[in-house]
Structure 1
Amino acid sequence: MRGVLLTAAAGLALAAFSAGCAPTYVYNPANYAKEYDPRKHEYTIGVGDQIRINVWRMADLSSEALVRADGVITMPLIGDVYVAGRTPTQVREELKKRLSEFVKDETAVITVAVTGINSYRFVVSGNVARAGIFASNYFVSVSEALALAGGPNQFASTDQILLIRMDSPGKFRHIPINYDEIASRKRPEQDLVLKAGDTVFVP
């Protein structure tokens, strides 16, 4: 699933308000090779994702749930479980701990799988054909995000693009991106894969 969901202005406002305070921006030249690549890490569950939990030999405890706006799912027997911001492995360990109060079978096997990705969203703003918030069910790079937004327009400074990334709540970092060098394959390492919540700003 992908498409424009909101305007760019609303998207930037949403990023600031979701942090709970006025955002702080830091400009640092990037070491592109060391930037976080979500493809190389276990998926982080987010609001709107669909997850499937199986408890081996205990079908009544197995369930499929949608992560609610508060980051919580509700399971049989144990009730609410906070899952947003956690990996499937972390959720599985939490469930093992919670279920151990009711299930004494230490051989019980619990699996947690993300069956529907709906929380991977990012903003493309500035001088592009269709600015807005986009969603995808697969990870996309800076150049792919720009393509989804219809590409830079005639007013764009494509050698001065910024990838705005939140490192911690309320603290955003500006990563310089030269789209011309990506397109020419001169500096392909700048074509970073986006994290959920990233903003690509085209001046």
Structure 2
Amino acid sequence: MHVDDRQRHWPGQHYLIRLRAPDDYTAQRSYSLASDDSDPLVEFLVERLPDGEVSEFLADVAEVGDVLELRGPIGRWFRWDTYTPALCLVGGTGLVPAVSMIRAARRLDRSDLLRVVAVARSPEELPYADELARAGATIAYTRDGTGGRPPGPPTADEIGPLLAGAELAYVCGSSRFAEFAEGLLIASGVSPEAIRVERFGVTG
């Protein structure tokens, strides 16, 4: 998506996309940026939700050349500064901020500072799977076993080695996933003050 007068964004930030009907009725939704700041266009992942006013329009109605209302980039708390060692523990479409972080780290040759654990129910439900694999992300499927790993969420034994040297932990996903991930990190010795959580849910 092209954005006029685009401001610099940091990995982990998001935009607010607002739709406006002829009668001035509006609906809006926040979407995390998948793109790196150096990309010529901004990239969002839109999950088409049943009865989702914004997602259904973007998936089924919007066409190249349409003009949308945007506000952003937004978010200071969840952004990654690109030099602090960090772990991302993300689930489902909540992995989008981690993709932006991966791309920024690769561009700046700082991939050693970022570790990613991505969780999905199955390979079919993991966006950016190939890119995550190339970046060395740990992938956990809760319903499918792959590569010798049994199905199930990540464990403390799996994330423990990835936390070595990490100063921040980013969690993004549904409310249920965020609660699980935050609890797992705390049980693994991460200070609550070092955990930054972004959770989402279905909106009307």
> Per residue, is there more strand in 1 or in 2?
1
TM bucket, shorter chain: under 0.3
Greater Rg by CA: 1
Q: Structure 2 length normalisation: TM-score?
A: 0.24
Higher relative contact order (CA closer than 8 Å, sequence separation 6+):
1
**Greater share of helix residues, 1 or 2?**
2
